[in-house]
Amino acid sequence: MRTDSLTFRLIAGAAIFCVAALAVGGIALSAIFRDAVQRNFDARLVVLLESLVAASEIDQQGRLELSRTPGEPRFEQPYSGWYWQIDRHGGEPLRSRSLWDAALAEIPADQAGTPIWQSLEAMEGQRLRRVSQTFQLPGSKTPFVFTVAGDLGVVEVEIGAFNNTLAWSFALLGISLISAMLIQVRFGLRPLRQIRSSLAAIRAGHARRLEGRFPAEIEPMASELNALLTENEAVVDRARTHVGNLAHALKTPLAVLTNEADDQSGAFGALVGRQTALMRRNVDHYLARARTAATGGVLGARTPVTPVLEDLKRTLLKIHADKSLTITLSSDPGAAFRGERQDLEEMLGNVMDNGCKWAKGVVAVAAVPSADRLEIIVEDDGPGLSSATRARVLERGQRLDESTPGTGLGLAIVRDICQLYGGSIRLSHAAIGGLRVELEVPASTTDQANETAGINN
């Protein structure tokens, strides 16, 4: 997941808010629980204190005695953390068995009789909370200070257990919420991935429009994209029409000039013939470039290679029937060119025709798709070219043999069309003896489109 993606931003923002909210809620709940446990602990101390006072009596000799034991068994266990003590000014205090031989610090008698709360460190490292209150018992001339103390460790144990339960419960809740948000975001952004895969299919030539139903928020964008694709096709059709009209308008006058030059003898006729031939070659070249530039970026253009090769083979065998050529084709059935059929025919037609002109008897053509590229290799068994001559062949208008029919711009046109599609052309020595022409152009394969759609989904 990329950090600059919408999915990451939504998940990260929601996760931060969720963690912050759970943290604040956990702290608040822990504080509320602590306060509730503390108040409950204090209330228990008050109840025990009142029970201790209720069980206290003054006998006939004026001595304090207990009619019953306060209802807390831990008062009988030595150093249990639960203690009571009754102090009287000038007298020996009365203590619980749990204090054993120790005693709690005496608090001066307070005639007002209000409870006094204290926290203190006691024996065995215990942290105690005690409540003391002064009472004047019937039959007694002096007040008594009643004290009940309890171990705060009990409170801390309860609070710690609650905090542990709260922590893992909130952790599970947080993970569940983040997982739910992840699923929700992935599901919510699925239409965008659908548009992405649909655009990839259009670019690969497997579709011409965005198909399917989209949510109300995405549907306007899908409609605008389809409208843009329609407008793009219309622009290309208009450009192709204008190019065709221009070609027709120029070729007819050039044909007239050529015929008139052929009827003229002498230097003037030869000059006009050469110039009209040069004009025709330049018109063919630039019209091919203009048409390719207009169609090269069309989305959804996909041309299977095998049918084009087979059509060109039949045509070239008829054109060069006097040479008894053998044209062998080797093409992957799934190989496809990501572009217009006219451009593929223009490139392959020029290269294969050039091979047929110079071949002694064999022209071999192979189409090999690889990832997103398509390599087409055309070889012939003709005389071939030297390394120094190959560069000159690709130069516009450069002809090596004036006796061979043609404009001399075939490979130059192929080079320009390849470049407009982001491809390339290379010349080398063929294994069968002649020239080897390697074309590398964009490929549109079914496996590639399926893989792209699978990744986006």
* Class of domain 228-453 as given by CATH: alpha beta
Q: Are strands 326-331 and 362-370 parallel, antiparallel or unpaired?
A: parallel
**pLDDT band at residue 109 using 50, 70 and 90 as cut-offs:** low
Comparison of pLDDT for 83 and 226, the residue scoring more: 83
| Cα gap 397→244, rounded to integer Å | 22
- Percent pLDDT > 70 in the chain is 85
Give the CA diameter of the chain. 164
Residue 30 pLDDT exceeds 90: yes
For residue 281, give the nearest of 99, 413, 438, 126 by alpha carbon: 413
**Is 29 a residue whose pLDDT tops 70?**
yes
Q: What mean pLDDT do residues 368-378 have?
A: 88
Identify the pLDDT of residue 271.
81
Q: Name which residue leads in pLDDT, 455 or 36.
A: 36
Interval 116-127: pLDDT, tens: 888 888 776 788
Note the pLDDT tens digit of each residue in 196-222. 888 877 776 677 778 778 788 778 888
Tokens of 215: 């949510």
* Packing angle of the helix pair 267-295, 219-263 (nearest 10 deg): 170
Question: What is the average pLDDT score of the chain?
Answer: 81
Given a cut of 50, whether residue 237 has pLDDT beyond it is: yes
**Contact 347/439 with Cβ under 8 angstroms?**
yes
Over residues 159-179, the pLDDT tens digits come to: 999 999 999 999 999 999 989
Q: What is the mean pLDDT of residues 59-71?
A: 79
Checking if the pLDDT of 71 tops 60, the result is: yes
Q: Taking the domains of the chain in order of start, what are their residue ranges? A: 6-158, 228-453
Mean pLDDT, residues 334-339: 86
Q: Across residues 258-285, what is the average pLDDT?
A: 76
Strand (E) or helix (H) holding 330: strand 326-331
Distance separating alpha carbons of residues 7 and 456, to the nearest angstrom:
13
Per-residue confidence (pLDDT) for residue 112, from 0 to 100: 55
Task: List C-alpha distances in Å: 357 to 87, 320, 400, 414.
Answer: 128, 8, 13, 16
Is 60 exceeded by the pLDDT of residue 300? Answer: no
Instruction: Provide the CATH number for the domain formed by 6-158 in this structure.
Output: 3.30.450
Ordered strands of the 127-135 beta sheet: 94-95, 83-88, 144-151, 127-135, 116-121
Q: Which of 192-201, 226-235, 328-337 has the highest mean pLDDT?
A: 328-337
pTM: 0.51
